[in-house]
Structures are given as C-alpha cells and as structure tokens.
Structure 1
Amino acid sequence: MVPPPSQSPISEATREFGRRVVERRTELGLTQEKAAELIGVHWTYLGQVERGRRNVTLLNILKIAAGLDIDAGRLVRELPVVSVE
C-alpha cells in the first residue's frame, strides 16, 4: 500500500539519507529518543528525517553525524541527484 502524499518522502535523496540515519542508529543500538538526545534535536524531528520528510540543512547533517559518531560524508555520499524543474 502506498502512503498518502503527506507521508511520502520529499525526494529519493531525503529517503536515502533517512535510511542511512536509521541504519547507523540501529547499528549503535539507539532508540530514536536516545539518538535525538545525543544529536541535540527533538525526537519528532529525527523521525521526520528518518522518513525523508525533512530537507536537512548542512548544520543538522553535521549534528546528526556527530551524534551518531559517523563521518558526514558517509551519510551524503552518492545520494540520488534531485532534478530541478
């Protein structure tokens, strides 16, 4: 079943970024709440990032990477290109 448009990721890039964040958080054995605390964001924000529903700023990419003890490059490397129309 396809989620309603309001629940769909913003783009394939945000979907993949979110998947990478979830993967790393899971590797560390962290709940969303604990990861959000380490990152310094609210857990609802992190949930939106993980679902691809947030267009994350560079500052927040760096905060997420630091909180999850991962190089920011690994989170963004080779993300799908977003077409500009």
Structure 2
Amino acid sequence: MGRNIKIKVARAELDITQKKLAEKVGISRQTMNAIEQGDYNPTIKLCLGICKVLGKSLDELFGEE
C-alpha cells in the first residue's frame, strides 16, 4: 500500500488539517497520518466518512490510478 497523496491534496484544497479531518470522522490524528502515509488500511466505513467530509468520491480518493 502506497502513500495516499490524494487525501492530503483534498485536505489542502479545503484548508483542513489532519487533526480537524480526524475529529470530523471520529479517529485520532495519528490514525489519519497513518492512512495518508499508507501504513493503515481504513475500513470502507471510514473511507466513506473521509470522502463525505472532503466532498470526494471513493474513486477520487482511494481508487487506483
């Protein structure tokens, strides 16, 4: 599993910190960092929560290139 730059870019577009995004989806900032670094594989429910907050689809944030 590689780094998820798409989440970082989507956060930057909305000017949302890792901490703020983590709070909105109910996880720790450390877990959000691990997701972005590719060290943690989130559940589909968590993926959908991240997509909802960032206004993106599953394919946009988690789909393969």
TM range (shorter): 0.7 to 0.9
Which residue, out of 24, 42, 53, partners 1:56? 42
**Would you tell me which structure has more helix in proportion to its own residues?**
2
Counterpart mapping for 1:1-80 below 5 A: 11-12=1-2, 15=3, 18-77=4-63, 79=64
Inter-partner Cα distance in structure 2 for 1:72 and 1:39: 15
TM-score (norm 2): 0.84
1:26-70 deviation line (CA, Å, top 9, x unaligned):
111011111111222211110100111011221111111112121
Moved over 6 A (4+): none
Instruction: Please report the RMSD computed on the Cα atoms of aligned residues, expressed in angstroms.
Output: 1.5
TM-score normalized by structure 1?
0.67
User: In 2, distance between residues paired with 1:55 and 1:70?
Assistant: 18
Q: Which runs of 5+ in 2 are unaligned?
A: none
* Structure 1 residues without counterparts, runs of 5 or longer: 1-10, 81-85
